[in-house]
Structure 1
Amino acid sequence: MDVHEARALFRELQERDGRVDPGELDAIWAVLPTARPEEILGAWKGGEFDTGHPLNGVLEKAGWYGKTFHSLRDAKPLICRNEAGELYSDTELGQGEASLWTVEFRGESTATMVYDGRPVFDHFKWVDDSTLLGIMNGKDVPPEGPYYYFYLERAPESGSGVRSRPGAGEGA
């Protein structure tokens, strides 16, 4: 599978009703370009892939909207909507907030969000200029998973002041 096929399959799986095979997501992950922490700063709207993981549906019930990366040391992993529709950082559910680092995962160094209050890592790779595929990993997750798979799409409120990755839209 090349990166163009991976992007097409990603979009197909994103639109699929029902379960998604984690093996298909792993195949996509394997060919996507890595991200650097400074490239993903800004606000992101999130969604998940239903792979049967125990977390599937939990974030939706909490009103999860997405993630915001203000700086490398100021990341908000659980931006949620309250009953009034206002966005806030749910530090109770996340047991704090997070920071961005470059961490090796599956033999590649890529942007990773490290949670402050949990032994949890969210690894990110680029699907396209405005979409990231994420894999949640942690201390108690065996090397073969199961992993929680999600995606982030750059939110409209990110504005034009947020840098996109260098070389975006060029070739790969």
Structure 2
Amino acid sequence: METLENYQLILKTGKTTTEKALKLFDTLEPVNLGFMFGRWQGSGLHTNHPMDGLLEISNWYGKEFIDSENVHPLLFLNGQEKIFQVAPNPTLMNWVLKLPIPKNNSLRPLLISINSLLKTDKSQARLRMMEYRGKVTATMIYDYLPINDSFRKVDENTVLGIMDYKNIPQPFFFILKRCL
């Protein structure tokens, strides 16, 4: 069994295996909808998933939960550090996951430009209580993608998220920290 210190190391380094990340996720307590309301800054938890590093090089900021019906699942920073909302594009997502994209900063300007073309003010997801891995917890459901993000509480201002994407069997993990 993993120790609390090992879990803290996983969260601090942002790297682990899928198996250890699932163990960590399963030990954490669920959260309710109200707990998730607000703006959260995100970072990836790298587990050798095809998306590892992709959000970071595209200047991903995090997520914002206005209420259960209005969620901005993709917040990004433009070149001037201003936060904007992006509408997820199913076709673009499928291409990105199939192409061998280098996960370094060389593509950052291109990805920031593409994201700026997908700006939106409209909600792109909603929040519901759903069972995932044996516990009912707050889960974000994308409006136009076969993706659910489920959340578990690390502490009062941190959650571990797991992206369940119908087209990829391996889950993608990320950490959200509440913006205070």
User: Shorter-chain-normalised TM-score: which range?
Assistant: 0.7 to 0.9
Aligned counterpart for 1:105 among listed residues 118, 122, 132: 132
The whole-number CA distance in structure 1 between the counterparts of 2:146 and 2:83 is 25
Cα offset, 1:9, TM superposition: 2.9
Partner of 2:53: 57
Q: Tell me what 2:69 maps to.
A: 73
Q: Which whole-Å deviations, capped at 9, do the CAs of 1:123-161 have from their partners, x for residues lacking one?
A: 00001111100000022243xxx11011101112xxxxx
> In the alignment, what sits opposite 1:147?
171
Structure 1 or 2: more helix by fraction: 2
Paired residue total: 149
Report if the CA contact (8 A) 2:161-2:173 is conserved: yes
Answer yes or no: is the 8 Å Cα contact 1:131–1:154 preserved in 2.
Answer: yes
Q: What runs of 5+ residues in structure 1 fail to find an aligned partner?
A: 157-172
Alignment partner, residue 42 of structure 1: 38
The residue number in structure 2 matching 1:160 is: none
**In structure 2, C-alpha distance between the alignment counterparts of 1:11 and 1:46, rounded to whole Å:** 17
* Cα deviation, residue 49, structure 1: 1.1
The amino acid that maps onto 2:178 is R
2:7 maps to 10
Distance in 1, Cα, partners of 2:88 & 2:34: 26
Q: Is the 8 A contact 2:25 2:152 kept in 1?
A: yes
Q: Calculate the aligned-residue CA RMSD, in Å.
A: 2.0
| TM-superposition CA deviations, 1:36-67 (whole Å, max 9, x none) | 11221001011111111001111112210111
1:82-135 alpha-carbon deviations (Å, 9 max, x no partner) = 011100011155787111011111121110000011010000000111110000
CA distance in 2, matches of 1:93, 1:63: 17
Could you list the runs of 4 or more consecutive aligned residues of structure 1 that deviate by over 6 angstroms after TM superposition? none
Are 2:20 and 1:20 equivalent residues in the alignment? no
TM-score, normalising length: structure 1 = 0.79
Identical residues among aligned pairs (%): 30
